[in-house]
Structure formats: C-alpha cells, structure tokens
Amino acid sequence: MAKRKKSEDESPEQNDADNFGLPDIDYKPLDETTDSTTEEEVPVEQVVVQETSYTYEPETHREEEQPVSTYTSPYSSSNSEEKSKAPMVIGLIIGLVIIVAGALVYIYVYKPAAEKAKQEEIARENERKRKEEEARLAREAEAERKRKEAEEAALKAKPAIGTIETLSDRTRRYYVVVSSAVDGDLIMDYAKKLSVKGTSTKIIPPFGKWKFYRLAVGDYDTFATAQTNADGVKGEYGSGVWVIKY
C-alpha cells in the first residue's frame, strides 16, 4: 500500500486534525511484508536436539521475615512492668502471711503445749522422787524398828547391869567358879566387867585352908546341875571353870 500523499487541496490545519498532531508514519501492508520475506528452511538432519535433564525441586515458600518494630509504647511498657512485679508482690504477701501464721501457731499452740509438757515432766519427776523418799524412809523406819526390837529382846533376856554380891555365910550350895585370886580387889574388878555385860556374880571370900577369893556366875542345889552349867559356860570363860560347894 502506497504512502498516502498529502493532497494539495488539504491544508496543513486539516492534516494536523486528521493525525491528531502525531508525525507521519510509513507502513506497509502485511501481505507485502510476508511476500517479501522468505523463510530459510533448516534441514532436519542439521537440527540437534539437546536433552537437558531437569531435577524437580519443590518450591519452598519461605516466610518473609517481617521487620520488628523497635517502637515501644510507653503505656505498654508500664503495663508489662506492673505485670512482672505482680507475682513478686503476691509471693511477698504469701510469705508474710506464712511467717505471721507460723509465729501465731508457735506463740498460741506450740509454746503452751511445750510448757504444759514440761510442767507434766516436772510433776512426774517430783512424784518419782517423792515415792523414792517414802520408800527410803520406810526402809529406815523398818530397820529402826527391828533394831529396837532386838534391843528390847536383849534387855528382856538379861539385865542391863549385872549385880555383884559378896557372900558372908556359907549356904551349902554348889557354885560355878570362873576366876579366883588372892587379892579381893582383882576379883571385884573382874566382877564389875561382867556386870557391865549384864552378868550377875557372887564373890566367895576365903574359907577353910584356902586364902583365895572366888568369883561365881551361878549357884545350884546339886553338884550335877552346877557341873552341867559349868560345862555350858566354858566356851565363854575358858576351860578353867569348876564347881565348889560353899
């Protein structure tokens, strides 16, 4: 198609109106362009097909990291501080309540119970000591009672102080003699010793051809009876005990 030539009759103002003020463009029809262009045929043998191996990799969708805003509201910071302090305050209150409760339990429960147990222990200890003292006093009283009974029995068995009798006349009785001496004072001293032990004695003065004082611890009607008693006291006065008739 031939370029449109400006008509001599058309004025420049009319051309500008038709072209909307755009510059003139030369163009050719499509058919002419196709005809004037001949495609070059490429032989099949000369076409080399290159096989390319492809590995399928699944696309992974990565989340884009969102930028963290560094701006912090003063109101949110204050609220977070208050929230962070809340558990600590609650913990302090709970600890204080536990301490106060423990102190009250110690003062009004544990301490009175411990004091009561202590007083009961003291009372039991005093009772034990009282019983031990009573038992000791009872033993001492029993021992004293037995001692007095023994003394009373001894007093009843023989007098506390024996009597000393000096014979002046012959009695025709048989005497158990435990000692003899020329000196009468010696016989008297011996008689006093026996008297302290509760033994009564009789002093026989010298008679006949014998000039000796004799000390007798018993007298009997017959010689046999006197000899029997003499044999019984030999263990106390010795084997020199004999019997005489005065």
Tens-digit pLDDT profile for residues 29-74: 555 444 444 444 444 444 444 444 444 445 544 445 555 555 455 5
Contacts of 226-230 with CB under 8 Å at 24 or more apart are: 226/174, 226/175, 226/176, 229/176, 230/176
Position 138 scores a pLDDT of 93
> What confidence category does residue 27 fall into, taking pLDDT thresholds of 50, 70 and 90?
low
Report the Cα 91 to chain-centroid distance in Å.
33
Q: What is the pLDDT of residues 105-149, one digit of tens each?
A: 888 888 888 888 889 999 999 999 999 999 999 999 999 999 888
- Give the CB-side neighbour count of residue 191, counting CA atoms within 13 A: 23
Position 50 scores a pLDDT of 46
Which of 222, 164, 214, 219 is CA-nearest to residue 193?
Answer: 164
Position 137 scores a pLDDT of 93
Mean pLDDT lowest among 81-90, 186-195, 199-208: 81-90
Q: What is the pLDDT of residues 142-187, one digit of tens each?
A: 999 998 888 888 767 666 688 999 998 889 999 999 999 998 999 9
User: Considering the entire predicted model, what is its pTM?
Assistant: 0.38
**pLDDT surpasses 60 at 101:** yes
β-sheet bridge partners, residue 245? 174
Position 213 scores a pLDDT of 94
Burial class of residue 70 in the structure, from the number of CB atoms within 10 Å of its CB (0-12 exposed, 13-18 middle, 19+ buried): exposed
Rounded to whole angstroms, how far apart are CA atoms 23 and 162? 188
Question: What average pLDDT does this structure show over 87-112?
Answer: 88
Alpha-carbon distances, residue 76 vs 68, 90, 147 (angstroms): 16, 21, 104
